[in-house]
Structure 1
Amino acid sequence: MPCLMPRGLGMCWSRPLMNTVKCNMFSSWRSSSDMCGGRWIVNAEDVKFHARDAFTPLSCKLTAEFRCIIWVLRCLRDLHVGACEIWSESVAAVSAIHDSSKWPRFQVYLNQIHHLLTEVHGFCFVVSQPQVNSVARDIAQSITRDGRFRSYLSIGGPAWLQSWIREERQGSFGD
């Protein structure tokens, strides 16, 4: 069973546990076109990796969320990321990962997620509040809002991304 950290931990920005990195992720889905995409950022003190991807059209927001989680887990596995807290705003997705028996409609996705979790160790899911996930959310929404379908994976991050994350940590970014 995957680790699920208590909801309260995602209320404000906090450092990841020692020897752990934090991965903020967000899945954006647009109902009018079924277009979706995702964004994730791995950071400890500074951005270690960040990526954006557009996905084939999917029929609902939760399916898009699962597709994004699968993508994130595959990327983190392939990058040999060790212990990691994955922060997502999707209460439903994190709940389904924690107790998949209550979500039979999504078993295909949940089985893939659970299989990937056996290939990585020390991964926990945290339900985050929007104000502590704003960077990942804003960039993911640019995929469906602005049609930015070009995918990328980057090591480190440009200065504008580093400062954006520092502002998010200080609580001065967002709403």
Structure 2
Amino acid sequence: MLVFEKVQVSSSKILKKAEEDATIWFEVNFPKEDTPLAPTSGHVTAAPWMAPHPDFLKCNIGVSWLSDQTNCGAAWILRDTRGNVLMHSRRSYSFVQSQEEAELLATFWAVDCLKTMRFTKIIFQSSFKRAHERLQSYNPALRSTPHIAQDIITKLQQMQAWSLDYVVPLRNVSAMKISESVTSDHRYQSYISKGSTSWLQHYLATKAQALLPPSS
């Protein structure tokens, strides 16, 4: 975990499409997600999504990159300590050459958005092994270091407090599903939206039901 802290078409069709894509509903996703937990230093966690410390917000990041497609999908979801969805976003990138590049782009998108919107204490979580390793070994003196990695670190260091964690994909499903809508459903319209939506309601309800113990 990286941690840093310091003191200091027509208009009607477009609108309809934006409203359809606008948010995500998490209330039914993983019923045990509401227990507050302070940030920890582990690299990988197998526990369900855990709420951040009350002073922090948590941002889960997803990406979908397919080598045979020109577009890559990126998404992030911002939640508070009660699991309420405050904001979420999706965007597409073109001509992405590798999984690592896709992961770094998605990470930068999340960090840059939240920094621009003046959020100051954020726990960023993703299932990005390549980006996580790249940022863990970040060294600006190395010529092999991608410029985007430096941009991510620079943006993070402008926040009051942050952590950048890896979690297993099962604990990052919702963000990943939004990003996959770009590559699977060809939803290329980028947006940032407040709150949540219901376009993944059926999927999330099914996943939540699958986690329940069988009835006796």
- Confirm or deny: 8 A CA contact 2:79 2:87 kept in the other structure: yes
Establish whether residue 75 from structure 1 lines up as the match of residue 134 from structure 2: no
1:105 to 131, 137, 144: 144
Establish whether residue 21 from structure 1 lines up as the match of residue 57 from structure 2: yes
Give the residue type in structure 1 aligned to 2:182. Answer: I
**Structure 1 residue 166, shift from structure 2 partner:** 8.8
Structure 1: how far apart are the matches of 2:101 and 2:56? 28
Q: How many residues end up aligned between the 2 structures?
A: 173
Partner-residue secondary structure (3-state), 2:134: helix
Structure 1: how far apart are the matches of 2:160 and 2:210? 30
Structure 1 residues 5 and 92 mapped into 2: Cα distance closer, same or farther (>3 Å)? farther
Task: Give the TM-score normalised by structure 2.
Answer: 0.70
Structure 2: how far apart are the matches of 1:94 and 1:48? 25
Which string of whole-angstrom CA distances, capped at 9 and with x for unpartnered residues, describes residues 135-171 of structure 1?
1111111101111101111111135668977987898
Establish whether residue 65 from structure 1 lines up as the match of residue 111 from structure 2: no
Structure 1 residue runs without a partner (length 5+): none
**Structure 1 residue 79, shift from structure 2 partner:** 1.4
Q: How does 1:162-173 map to 2 (within 5 A)?
A: 172=211
CA RMSD of superposed structures (Å):
2.9
Structure 2: how far apart are the matches of 1:55 and 1:41? 18
1:146 to 185, 190, 201: 185
Structure 1 residues 159 and 33 mapped into 2: Cα distance closer, same or farther (>3 Å)? closer
Larger % of helix: which? Answer: 1
Larger Rg: 2
- Confirm or deny: 8 A CA contact 1:90 1:127 kept in the other structure: yes
- Confirm or deny: 8 A CA contact 2:103 2:130 kept in the other structure: no
Structure 2: how far apart are the matches of 1:23 and 1:54? 18
Which residue pairs with 1:51 in the alignment? 89
Structure 1: how far apart are the matches of 2:96 and 2:178? 19
Structure 2: how far apart are the matches of 1:21 and 1:90? 19
Task: Give the TM-score normalised by structure 1.
Answer: 0.85
Give the residue type in structure 2 aligned to 1:142. Answer: S
Give the residue type in structure 2 aligned to 1:143. Answer: V
Partner-residue secondary structure (3-state), 2:92: strand
**Structure 1 residue 101, shift from structure 2 partner:** 3.5
**Structure 1 residue 50, shift from structure 2 partner:** 0.3
